[in-house]
Amino acid sequence: MHRLLELVDLAVPAPPDDAEVEALVRGWYPAVSADELARIRAFVGSYAGSALAVRIATLAGVRPERPFAFELDGVLVNGRLDVLWLEGDRALVLDYKTNALLGRDPAEIVEEEYLTQQVVYAIACLRAGAREVEVVYHFLEDADAVVSRVFTAEDAEGLEARLSASIARIRAGDFTPTPSAFACSGCPVLDVVCAGPRLGGGFEEHDPQSELAG
């Protein structure tokens, strides 16, 4: 899905036709099933037909798949942004998500699973010279499932402190298990080598507001 979205013209967001999608995807992944192809088409179409895509199309110079790297506490933090717009002192990052929503609020998913990623993206853009960064998540199961948050240069010190705390926990080997019905759903080792949500007591309640989810 990401590879197909790289081919979509962000200025004129129209998905490839079905025959082209099938040819491309089968060329990349010959074992893809018909159901998987249908889901991939739906995800790409969800973005192309969304109000968010219309907004992104108005941003001059917006580009897909942009690499970034920065150093913090002796650690090289690097990755790629699905979509980046950077102009003057403003930036926007768009990240596509294919999570199954399962009736959940997309904002809750971001809070529980993507806070560290959100912080990293904001720091990358602030260090690139932006003074205002909007980080946008688009959950493609629903064309309207968009979660957005704006960070400013005044947030930079706090953001770096939060990421430093995550780095310190990693170095200390502090990986607190946080099993849940949602997190463990579909895990291939559930009930084989791990009891998942039935592990019960012994774990602190996970608070995404106070601890960055990895």
**Does position 7 have pLDDT exceeding 50, yes or no?**
yes
Same domain? For 186 and 148 the reply is: no
For the segment 137-166, the average pLDDT, to the nearest whole number, is 97
Same domain? For 112 and 210 the reply is: no
What per-residue confidence (pLDDT) applies to 177? 73
Same domain? For 198 and 154 the reply is: no
On whether the CB atoms of residues 151 and 135 are closer than 8 A, the answer is yes
3 state SS of 77: strand
**Does position 61 have pLDDT exceeding 90, yes or no?**
yes
**Does position 40 have pLDDT exceeding 50, yes or no?**
yes
**Does position 174 have pLDDT exceeding 60, yes or no?**
yes
Same domain? For 81 and 33 the reply is: yes
For the segment 148-167, the average pLDDT, to the nearest whole number, is 97
Q: H-helix or E-strand containing 173?
A: none
Nearest Cα neighbor of 63 from 88, 41, 39, 94 is: 94
Same domain? For 192 and 103 the reply is: no
Same domain? For 98 and 189 the reply is: no
Same domain? For 10 and 109 the reply is: yes
Band of pLDDT at residue 211, cut at 50, 70 and 90: very low
On whether the CB atoms of residues 81 and 66 are closer than 8 A, the answer is yes
Containing structural domain, residue 98: 2-171
Q: In what order do the strands lie in the sheet with 63-72?
A: 63-72, 75-87, 90-97, 132-139, 146-152
Same domain? For 118 and 195 the reply is: no
For the segment 9-37, the average pLDDT, to the nearest whole number, is 93
Same domain? For 62 and 158 the reply is: yes
Same domain? For 194 and 91 the reply is: no
Q: Which residue has the higher pLDDT, 134 or 188?
A: 134
Count of domains for the chain? 2
CATH number, domain containing residue 145? 3.90.320.10
What per-residue confidence (pLDDT) applies to 203? 42
What per-residue confidence (pLDDT) applies to 181? 73
- Encode pLDDT of 104-140 as tens digits: 999 999 998 999 999 999 999 999 999 999 999 999 9
Same domain? For 147 and 70 the reply is: yes
Strands 63-72 and 90-97: unpaired
What rounded mean pLDDT belongs to the chain?
90
CB-facing half-sphere around the CA of 187: CA atoms within 13 A: 16
Same domain? For 159 and 195 the reply is: no
